[in-house]
Every structure is written in C-alpha cells, then in structure tokens.
Amino acid sequence: MSVKQISVFVENKQGALLDITTRLSQHQINIRAVSLADTTRFGIFRLIVDKPDECEKALREEGFTVSITNVLVVKLQDRPGGLSEAVKILSEHGINIDYLYAFITHAINDTCVIVRVGDIEFAEKVLMDNGFTLFSDEDILKI
Amino acid sequence: MFWQKDAETMNRAKIKEVQLERLKWTVSRCYNNVPYYKEMMDKAGVTPEKIKTLDDVRRLPLTTKDVLRQNYPFKLFASPKEDVVEIHASSGTTGKPVVGGYTKNDLDLWGHCMARLVVAAGARQDDIAQISFGYGLFTGAFGLHYGLQKVGCMIVPISSGNSEKQIMLMEDFGVTVLIATPSYAVYLSELAKDLGVAGNLKLRLGLFGSEVCTPEMRKQIENNIGIIVTDNYGLTELGGCGVSGECEERDGLHINEDHFLAEIIDPDTGEVLPEGESGELVITPLSKEAFPIFRYRTKDISRLSTEPCRCGRTLIRMDKVVGRTDDMLIIKGVNVFPSQIESVIFTMPHIGPHYQLVLRKERFMDCLEVQVELIDGTLLEKYGELEALENRIKDKLRIVLGIDCGVTLVAPRTITRFEGKAKRIVDLRKA
Ligand SMILES: [Zn+2]
C-alpha cells in the first residue's frame, strides 16, 4: 500500500524547476504533490505524479538524475492533532521519519501526508493497525 | 635483470661520450637531409661542426609541435621514402596529426629500447602479456609489442575494447602482464571485481602509459587486482614510447640516455635549468634515422636526477610527469594540474567524468571550485548523503592537491564537453 515517488536532483539556479515541470506537461504527466528541499547550492525536488514510471523514464531520457522510491501516503484524521497522532505512533514503534510533506486533495477534500521511512512495510502495518488509511498508486491515479 | 646490461650500466663519463658522438651524428643528419632544420640552424648561426661538447646542444633552437604540423606529413623525414617501413601518428584531436616514420633500423632500436623498459619493470620471457592498447597509428601498442616480442613473452594482442572478453582471456590464458592506459586498467580492474573473477587472475604486473597515471589510480588498480603498476614514457614526436620507464624500484623513470638526450628548461624563458630543478622536459633523440628531431619541447613538467639507483642502472632518472606546461595552474602558490583533479573525480562513484574548474579571487585569496555532474540517483533519498558526497570529493582533492577547494554538484549534461583540457578551466582571477 505504498506510493511511488520521484526524486530529481536540481541545481539552485533560475529555471531549473521550470525545466522539469515543462517536461512533465509535455509528457502529459499530472503532478499531485511536490516538495523541494534545498540549500544555496542544490536541491532535491520530490514529486507524486499520476504516472510515476513514465515520469521517471521521461526525466531520465531528458538527462536528469532521478530516482524512484516508495513512500507512504497517509490520510490524516479530520481533527486537530491529526498529524501528530501519525508521527507519534511511528515514533513509539521506533520508526524514523526521513522526511514528510503534506498535500490536500481538492477531489476528496482530505489532508494527506507523505512519509518516507526506512522500514516501509513495518510502518505500513503499524499505521493500518492504528486505523489510518493509506493510499495506493491506484488511489493517486483517481485523485 | 637487464636487457642490454652494458648500455644500462655505463659509467656517467662513458654515457656522455656516447651521447656526444650520437648528437653530432643526429645534428648532421638533420642539417644535411631536412631543409627545415638547415634553415633554422643557419638562422641561429649553428652548423654541425659547432657541436663540440654536449652543452653545445643549447646552441640549437628548440623545436615545437607546431613545426611538426607545418611540415606535415613527411617533410621532416631524413631518410628517402623507400627506406621508411612504418608510420605512426599522434591521436591529435584538432588539425593534422603528428606523423613519425621508421626505417628497419629504427624499428629494431625501438624494440630494444622497449625491451629494456619492460625488463626493467619486471617482465620476463615466461610472461603472458595482454596488450589492451588500441593497435593502429598510435605508437603504444606496437612499441610494447616489439619490446615484449624481443624479450620472448607470449603476446595477446587483443587491442582495446570488448572488456568482458578481455577479462575472460586474462582468466583463461593465465595472463600475467597487462598493458593498458591507466584509466582503462582501472575500468578493467573494477569489472574483474564486479564479475567476481579478480581472485582467479594471475596478473602480477601492469605496464601502463600514454596518459598520466596518478598515484591514486595506481593504488586503486593495485588494490583491485593486486598487481604492481609501472609507468613508461614517450611521445609520437620522439618515436613513441621507449624514451623512459620505471625500474622495479619505482622511483623515477630511467631515460634510455644513449638514445635520448634530456634537458630541463624554464618553460617561459627557454633557459636550461640545473639538475634537480623542475621544469619543461626537452628531448633530443640521438639515434633516429627516418625522423630525427632536436630539442623537442615536450610540454611535460619533470625533473632529472643522476643519483645512483638501487637497481644498478646508471641511466638518468626523470620524475613521473604530473602535468603539462599548458595545463598547469598556480593556486595559492601551489602547482595544480587538471590531471590530478581528473584522477580524483575518475575514481569516485556517483559522479560523471566531466568537470569544470572555476578559479576566483575572494578576499585576495585564490579559490578553486570543482564542478562535477551527479549522475547516480541513489543518493537522492537522504539530503545529507549529497553533502557527504561533496565532502568526500573535497577530502580526496585536499589529499591529492594539497589545497582546499570547493565542490559543487551539478545536473548531468550541464558541463560543456570539450576536446581539450584547457577549456575546462574558467579563470576569473584576472577579471
Ligand atoms: Zn632503477
């Protein structure tokens, strides 16, 4: 029940991101969520898209340094503290979060959080056991 | 062990005597048989009779690569064309190549010079030698071939490329000596490791040449496949490889001095420097029939030493060439060669082989920034891993160059590909 995420290396210079998004629209790839971590010199652009395999192939062919990894997309409980509940459960089970970022889907009006952890299968089980809903690649396609 | 013990262990006075006699012969041959050299010598007011001592070589003008290009292809040959039995040429990336010709005697002598070098490096008659240099106009493959053939080794002339087959033959034939460029040897050694056959190889000796082999590359090859790596030196302009090579002591390259006269000059003034000083290597071959040349400016930076060597050879030694005069950068007062930076980049995983060097002045201090392409996506999961990669490259560069420099990862295919090395440098210090 994980989702494929694309990571792209970007230089910190004008037009680097635009370059990527332009390629994606040329390939009719829709972006669902993005996150950009950067320093003054370079960054890593992370994307959840409707067609991850095609996206990875297209970017690689265009000469970008790309990787594809599995992340968890967790639907948060619709109440205050929803995010901290998810984080707390993971931490109680000794699961380290490498990074996370959120997105809101207009289609289903939910807040989701994308979580990257070391042991993804264990994290998945822990979250499901505690009543969280996880998205699959197919769910992403439907958004 | 020696190939021509008498020539390799002559006393210094005898060496000089032989050199003077052969220098006179070469200068006469140039003057009488090659119109270009006659014109240049007349202009400089030197005739062959004026060469009375070895130091008189300094009366002769220096010869540069441009001269060879201007006289393309055969105008500098001193033998009639029907006596020339073989041609080799440089792999010049721009313009016309440099062409060298050989008579039968030249080929025989070339073979003996190479035989000396391979024996000095440790090759023996019962060795099986795989030549992974590209055969062709390039002098390397044939030079080693002729030398190893004289020694009587079993030669496997596989040429370059088809790397998996190279490894297969090495394993099946029990190859003991590998002849390759250092970078190809690094590649083959990595491949052998990946294929899990490194332990089955009988390789014990690597005879490398044709490009700078840095100590780091040497160490990497030695670690990967457990062989001893030796270097030899030569240039197409000087008849190819065979000028000098390392003995088993691996403390400098012995020049075949009875056939090559070496000088070190200041590259800016052309003045000859005293022994022990570092400068541009200038070579006069002393025994060439078809393609004699005098005082050829190699553009390679080296140093000479007549200190006795533990191997017993009395032949002068030159330092391993670390770089060329036209590539040398002076950063914070330290001489830096792109080849050194190349060797570091080349051996690091995750990054591509292309690089750009940017030099700046910041607060009156020289700053070197090395830009390299990140080509492997596996480090993208953790941000810190990219920074750790930058730091690893930085640390290695500090060890090799002796100065601190900045490292910047850039996206693949963003560094412009140039043919020459010079353009890889952007020097903003003067701006
Ligand atoms: Zn020696």
- Span from the CA of B144 to the centroid of ligand 1 (angstroms): 19
The domain in which residue B392 lies consists of 329-427
pLDDT band at B131 (very low <50, low <70, confident <90, very high): very high
| pLDDT tens string A104-123 | 766 666 788 999 998 899 99
Name the residue among A8, A42, A98 with its Cβ closest to that of B409.
A42
Total domains, chain A: 2
Name the residue among B380, B387, B408 with its Cβ closest to that of A9.
B380
- pLDDT above 90 for B3: yes
Higher pLDDT, A59 or B215: A59
Which phi and psi (to 5°) does residue B287 adopt?
-130, 20
Same domain, A128 and A90: yes
Which CATH number goes with the domain that contains B403?
3.30.300.30
- pLDDT above 50 for B419: no
Same domain, B300 and B339: no
In terms of DSSP H, where are the helices of B73-135? 104-121
Residues 353 through 412 of chain B touching chain A, CB cutoff 8 Å? 374-378, 380-383, 386-387, 408-412
Which neighbouring-strand residues pair with B366? B361
* Contact between A69 and B376 using a beta-carbon 8 Å cutoff: no
In terms of DSSP H, where are the helices of B60-137? 65-70, 104-121
Predicted confidence at residue A94, as pLDDT, reads: 92
From B266, B297, B325, the end of a domain falls on B325
| pLDDT tens string A7-52 | 999 987 778 888 899 999 999 999 888 888 776 678 899 999 999 9
Helix (H) or strand (E) holding B406: strand B406-410
| pLDDT tens string B95-114 | 788 999 999 999 999 999 99
Average pLDDT of the segment spanning A70-84: 85
Total domains, chain B: 2
Please name the residue of chain B whose CA is at the shortest distance from the CA of residue A68.
Answer: B377
- Percent of chain B, pLDDT > 70? 97
- pLDDT above 60 for B166: yes
Query: B411 contacts in A (CB within 8 Å)?
Result: 9-11, 16, 63-65
- pLDDT above 50 for B48: yes
Average pLDDT of the segment spanning B39-43: 96
For an interface test with B, the pick among A20, A65, A100, A115 (most B C-beta atoms closer than 10 Å) comes out as A65
Average pLDDT of the segment spanning B272-289: 96
From A53, A70, A87, the end of a domain falls on A70
Predicted confidence at residue A128, as pLDDT, reads: 92
Predicted confidence at residue B187, as pLDDT, reads: 79
Same domain, B376 and B319: no
- Percent of chain A, pLDDT > 70? 95
The domain in which residue A87 lies consists of 71-142
Same domain, A94 and A64: no
| pLDDT tens string B217-272 | 788 788 888 899 999 999 999 999 999 999 999 999 999 999 999 999 999 899 99
pLDDT band at B79 (very low <50, low <70, confident <90, very high): very high
- pLDDT above 70 for B126: yes
| pLDDT tens string B144-153 | 999 999 999 9
Same domain, A79 and A63: no
Predicted confidence at residue B6, as pLDDT, reads: 96
Helix (H) or strand (E) holding A127: helix A120-129
Query: B409 contacts in A (CB within 8 Å)?
Result: 9, 11, 41-42
CA–CA min distance A115, chain B (Å): 12
Question: Which residues lie near ion ligand 1 (Cβ < 5 Å)?
Answer: B 247, 249, 309, 311, 313
Predicted confidence at residue B342, as pLDDT, reads: 83
- Span from the CA of B252 to the centroid of ligand 1 (angstroms): 8
- How far apart CA B139 and CA B188 sit, in angstroms, is 21
What is the CB neighbour count within 10 angstroms for residue B316?
Answer: 23
- Is there a contact between B397 and B344 (Cβ–Cβ < 8 Å)? yes
- How far apart CA B9 and CA B4 sit, in angstroms, is 9
Predicted confidence at residue A46, as pLDDT, reads: 93
Higher pLDDT, B34 or B362: B34
The residue assigned the tokens 């590998």 is: B178
A-side interface with B, Cβ within 8 Å?
A: 7-11, 16, 37, 39, 41-42, 44, 63-67, 69, 98-99, 116
Long-range contacts of B328-334 (CB under 8 A, 24+ apart): B328/B301, B329/B357, B329/B359, B329/B368, B329/B425, B329/B427, B331/B359, B331/B366, B331/B368, B331/B401, B331/B403, B331/B405, B332/B365, B332/B366, B332/B403, B334/B401, B334/B402, B334/B403
Same domain, B247 and B386: no
* pTM recorded for the entire structure: 0.71
For an interface test with B, the pick among A9, A17, A71, A120 (most B C-beta atoms closer than 10 Å) comes out as A9
Predicted confidence at residue B147, as pLDDT, reads: 98
pLDDT band at B420 (very low <50, low <70, confident <90, very high): very low
From A52, A70, A88, the end of a domain falls on A70
What single-letter amino acid sits at B68?
A: L
Predicted confidence at residue B158, as pLDDT, reads: 96
